[in-house]
Amino acid sequence: MHYIDVIIPIPLQKLFTYSITASEFDFIKPGMRVAVPFGKSKIYTGIVYRVHNDAPTAYDAKDIQQILDETPVVNQKQLKLWDWISSYYLCTLGDVMRASLPNAFILESETMVSKNMSKTIDESILKDDEFLVFEALSHQSSLKVQDISNILNKKNVLPVIKRLIEKEAIIVEEEVYEKYKPKLVRYVKMHSFYSTEKELHQLLNDLSRAPKQRDVVMTLFSISAKTKKPIKVSDLSAESGASSSIIKSLIDKEILEEYYIQIDRVQYSGEENEDSKALNNHQEQALAEIQTTFKDHQVTLLHGVTSSGKTEVYVKLIEDVLKLGKQVLYLLPEIALTTQLVTRLQNYFGDQVAVFHSKYSAHERVEVWNQVLLNSAKAKVVLGARSSIFLPFDNLGLIIVDEEHEQSFKQFDPAPRYHARDTAVVSAHIHQAKVLLGSATPSLESYFNAQQNKYGFVELMHRFNDVLMPEVELVDIKEKQKKKRMKGHFSDSLIAEMTQTLADGHQIILFQNRRGFSPIVECSTCGNSPQCPNCDVSLTYHQYRDQLRCHYCGYSIVMLRKCDACGSPELDNKGFGTEQIEAEVKLLFPENKVGRMDLDTTRGKYGYEKIITALEQQEIEILVGTQMLTKGLDFRNVKLVGIMNADNMLNFPDFRAHERSFQLMLQVSGRAGRTEERGKVLIQTYNPYHNILQQVSTNNYSAMYKEQMDERYNFKYPPIYKQIKLTLKHKDYNRVEIAADWYAKSLRQVFKDNILGPEFPPVARIRNQYHKNILVKIPKKQSLAKTKEAIIKINNSFFNIKDFRSVRVILNVDNY
């Protein structure tokens, strides 16, 4: 007997064994998709994990329903990586599968077919089984794949469905077997009839009374003489100035012939490639050092200040790897994946560059997936956000993780709660590839690894062209308030700098770490502030829509006109967000063009790009934004950066708050003065003597590192200790309390003092679920595997208690 173990995209710990026939056994390979029955009536798309001959002992293996692929869509190296992710991040292989595969690859059991109403079918052309299905569809408007299976009394019905589609008798409701459809482009050529001089001559004569049509034919000739490539209908129409109806009439008259070519959606339309830039001495040296470290390190950290030209160094490394015929993965935080960078890389590498990120459609993702899988020339360099770590690389030579300190590399929800940087290191290990981590403000984790000589370490401390680092000035707003030198949230110093910068014709970026108008609306009479009914937070005022909104669950209501509690009309705005800063700027600088960049203004595929382009084109003179601004943008003309309030970042209740504030402020500062003229940064704060602010103003990474590491050491935080955060969720407050106490007590029996909590987080209720956290701290010398084993054991006992079954437990390894 033959069997396969299958990964099913559901959060159940184990693999499921199915039986297969001898011929299926010869055909099936790990990494192929199979449709399998599950439970009473469900069908899932699973991934074959192992093919073997061992019957399961606990249950009778069911038969598979059908094989969905001719060749594997997931390779062995990926399956290895999946294994690691599932065991390291304490999630199931099904979770990893769901996160990895493009949605379009996952056939659901709910797949529907129905009769093609736009066609009358001669039933005599249908074979018996086809007819049965066709007939059934006359009585029922649609059928599931499973129903068809029952009607025909066999499991593999795909071929029947396929034939019926080809005969145009049925349509598969959209997004069915392959949700993916390649994009087709319409081309034209001369009809084959006109292949000789003589016929052609005749044609042009005939057309002399239809000059527009004649023009089209002439244009077609001149284009094909020039390019010798297929000619798109759209190009022909543009060149000849003829409308599409004229072209259509030529097609109808069989003078032209139309045809379709499948093209890749994700494609490069650039001109010739250019050579990469010659490096300056500092870059040369950094490159040489990186290459040396790669001799005995798999991973190297490049600490290079903003605008030092890290990207050009990456480009040289990429060139070397491409010469070896290997693939390169270039990982970036989602938001840093701008056209600016894509264009820059395409200029060097042409259409060897493929891009993969969440704003791409399902189709585009499948295309990139397939190109990577086939090691195609079109995806030698993949530029992607977090999830591109899951692409089916086969021959990876190098992974670059740019802005490696970015917390958005860690997936927060849902499982797998993986860190793309750390996963990249493991993936590189599987491929025997190298990893370069790059940042102007490395994470303490990576810097620590470099200090321990676990990673190689290279510095690039000169800005390109020796442009000076911006001058940083701290503005004490407590002092300014006392002296009445504030206008709204703007100090007189900031206003003066802004006025000067604008007068010089330069641009300004203002950084405010919050979106919305003012986070909190408070009644001046009774102090009440409107709360979200689902979460324990105050609602945020959004002036643009005149709404109060919850940033946790999306709940919104129209802005109140009077206090809910006491009826007083005096509602006060406390705190401030991007929208309010924008409004204030417009009042202070009514002559200037102001833009805003935050989650609200960058929705949609090109939302973010539009704002960047407007800034590049100098259609915006002052840009107000959240941390989106910090990411690798290169704006020549920005000379002033204002940080509206440093304190709300510094006071955030998280052990990483100081590290992050340092990174954020230094990264935003890096946007100022990237060319010859020195830029300036103004930081407004109530506490100018804060160490972090001092370290930011002197650009002193190592002082920050040293001080923060002392704290991490004293309080047993990462990277000194590892940690796993457990979150228990339930709609009943008491149940969460009791469950969390039980859980923490059990953990304490094993891990003693290394358990913190249970504790309610600052926002204890989100979407009507109460949250309670427990933290497990893991000393470096304690076995991680054993620790996890113990946690899983406790977790299993937990769910054996009836009262706790409805509690959700989230395990977050290396939580951020």
Report the interface residues with ligand ADP, using CB under 6 A: 277-280, 283, 304, 306-312, 464, 634
526 sits near Zn ion (criterion: CB under 5 A) = yes
Task: Of 59, 197, 176, give the one whose Cα is nearest residue 111.
Answer: 176
- CB of 265 within 8 A of CB of 363? yes
Measured from the CB atom, is 280 or 525 closer to ligand ADP?
A: 280
Positions in 266-285 near Zn ion (CB under 5 A): none
**With CB cut-offs between 5 and 8 Å by kind, which of Zn ion, ligand ADP, none does residue 723 bind?**
none
Strand 353-356 relative to strand 490-491, pairing: unpaired
Does position 555 bind Zn ion by CB under 5 A?
yes
304 binds, among Zn ion, ligand ADP, none (CB under 5 to 8 A by kind): ligand ADP
Closest chain position to ligand ADP (CB): 309
**Nearest-approach distance from CB 309 to ligand ADP, in angstroms:** 3
Q: Are 440 and 463 in contact (CB under 8 A)?
A: no
CB 669 to ligand ADP: min, Å: 12
Q: Is 528 in the site for Zn ion (CB under 5 A)?
A: yes
What residues are paired with 50 via a beta bridge?
Answer: 5
Output the smallest distance, CB 530 to Zn ion, in A: 10
**Residue 657 touching Zn ion (CB under 5 A):** no
- Note the Cα 378 to chain centre separation in Å: 21
Name the residue nearer to ligand ADP (CB basis): 10 or 342.
Answer: 342
Let me know: does 469 contact 332? Beta carbons within 8 Å.
no
Report the residue from 280, 395, 451, 525 that binds Zn ion according to the rule CB under 5 A. Answer: 525
Q: Is 91 within any annotated ligand binding site?
A: no
Q: Indicate the residue among 508 and 563 with the shorter CB distance to Zn ion.
A: 563
Question: In the Cβ-directed half-sphere of 81, how many Cα atoms lie within 13 Å?
Answer: 31
Cβ nearer to ligand ADP, comparing 277 with 545: 277
Say whether residue 552 binds Zn ion (CB under 5 A): yes
CA dihedral 317, 319, 322, 327 (to 10 degrees): 50
Choosing among Zn ion, ligand ADP, none, which partner's interface includes residue 141 (Cβ < 5 to 8 Å by kind)?
A: none
- Cβ pair 191, 255 in contact under 8 A: yes
Q: Which member of 112, 203, 322, 553 binds Zn ion (CB under 5 A)?
A: 553
DSSP string, 310-370: HHHHHHHHHHHHHHTT-EEEEE--GGG--HHHHHHHHHHHGGGEEEE-TTS-HHHHHHHHH
Q: Which residue has the tokens 């002193």?
A: 700
The encoded tokens of residue 423 equal 């996963």
CB of 402 to ligand ADP, least distance (A): 7
Q: Is 242 a residue that touches Zn ion (CB under 5 A)?
A: no
Residue number with CB closer to ligand ADP (308 or 507): 308
In this complex, which beta carbon is closest to ligand ADP, that of residue 309 or of residue 516? 309
Taking the mean position of all CA atoms in its chain, how far away is CA 533? 30
Q: List 812's β-bridge partners, or say none.
A: 725
Q: Looking at 10-18, 268-276, 531-539, 586-594, which segment touches Zn ion (CB under 5 A)?
A: 531-539
Distance of CA 279 to the CA centre of its chain: 31
- Triad 345, 408, 441: Cα angle to 5°: 75
> What does 73 interact with, of Zn ion, ligand ADP, none (CB < 5 to 8 A by kind)?
none
Distance CA 375, CA 424 (A): 19
Distance CA 488, CA 486 (A): 6
CB nearer ligand ADP, residue 113 or residue 460: 460
Half-sphere CA count of 97, side-chain side, radius 13 A: 28
Q: What are the φ/ψ torsions at residue 296 (nearest 5 degrees)?
A: -125, 10
Question: With CB cut-offs between 5 and 8 Å by kind, which of ligand ADP, Zn ion, none does residue 310 bind?
Answer: ligand ADP
Q: Residue 632 or residue 719: which is nearer to ligand ADP going by CB?
A: 632
Place of tokens 């970036």: 332
Q: Which does 565 bind (CB under 5 to 8 A by kind): ligand ADP, Zn ion, none?
A: Zn ion
Does 84 sit near Zn ion (CB under 5 A)?
A: no
The interface partner of residue 100, options being ligand ADP, Zn ion, none and the CB cut-off 5 to 8 Å by kind, is none
**Quick one: what does residue 283 bind among ligand ADP, Zn ion, none, with the CB cut-off 5 to 8 Å set by partner type?**
ligand ADP
Is residue 361 within the footprint of Zn ion (CB under 5 A)? Answer: no
Q: Work out what residue 307 binds among ligand ADP, Zn ion, none; the CB cut-off runs from 5 to 8 Å by kind.
A: ligand ADP
Of positions 157, 299, 532, 709, contacts Zn ion by CB under 5 A: 532
Kindly write down the DSSP assignment for every residue of 149-165, as one continuous string: HHHHT-S--HHHHHHHH
Nearest to ligand ADP of 146, 306 (CB atom): 306
Q: What does the angle CA 287 – CA 291 – CA 295 come to, to the nearest 5 degrees?
A: 165
Cβ at position 278, least distance to ligand ADP in Å: 6
CB of 528 to Zn ion, least distance (A): 5
Cβ closer to Zn ion: 376 or 531? Answer: 531
**CA-derived radius of gyration, the chain:** 31
Decide if residue 535 touches Zn ion (CB under 5 A): yes
Contact between 534 and Zn ion per CB under 5 A = yes
Q: Measure the CA–CA gap between 93 and 50, rounded to whole angstroms.
A: 13
Taking residue 510's Cβ as centre, other Cβ atoms within 10 Å add up to 27
State in angstroms the smallest separation of the CB of 313 from ligand ADP. 8
Nearest residue (CB) to Zn ion, 541 versus 751: 541
> Closest separation between CB of residue 627 and ligand ADP, Å?
17
Pairing of strands 112-115, 170-172: antiparallel
Which entry of ligand ADP, Zn ion, none binds 279, CB below 5 to 8 A by partner kind? ligand ADP
Two tokens at 783?
């076995």
Nearer to Zn ion, 25 or 552 (CB): 552
Neighbours of 106 (CB within 10 A): 16
494-523 positions binding Zn ion, by CB under 5 A: 523
Q: What is the DSSP string of 19-55?
A: EE-HHHHHH--TT-EEEEEETTTEEEEEEEEEEE---
Residue 553 interacting entry, from Zn ion, ligand ADP, none, C-beta within 5 to 8 Å by type? Zn ion
Q: Which of Zn ion, ligand ADP, none interacts with 673 (beta carbon under 5 to 8 A by kind)?
A: none
- Return the one option of Zn ion, ligand ADP, none that residue 405 interacts with (CB less than 5 to 8 A, by type): none
Name residues whose C-beta falls within 8 Å of residue 67's C-beta, 6 or more positions apart in sequence. Answer: 24, 27, 28, 32, 33, 34
Q: How many residues bind Zn ion (CB under 5 A)?
A: 15
- Of 439, 430, 431, 433, nearest to 459 by C-alpha is 439
Q: Which residues pair with 707 in a beta bridge?
A: none
Contact 113, 175 (CB under 8 A): no
Tell me the C-alpha distance between 463 and 466, whole Å: 5
526 is in an annotated binding site: yes
Q: Find, among 103, 84, 4, the residue nearest to 52 by Cα.
A: 4
- For the annotated binding site, the residues are 523, 526, 532, 535, 550, 553, 563, 566
Binding-site residues for Zn(2+): 523, 526, 532, 535, 550, 553, 563, 566
Binding site for Zn ion (CB under 5 A): 523, 525-526, 528, 532, 534-535, 550, 552-553, 555, 563, 565-566, 568
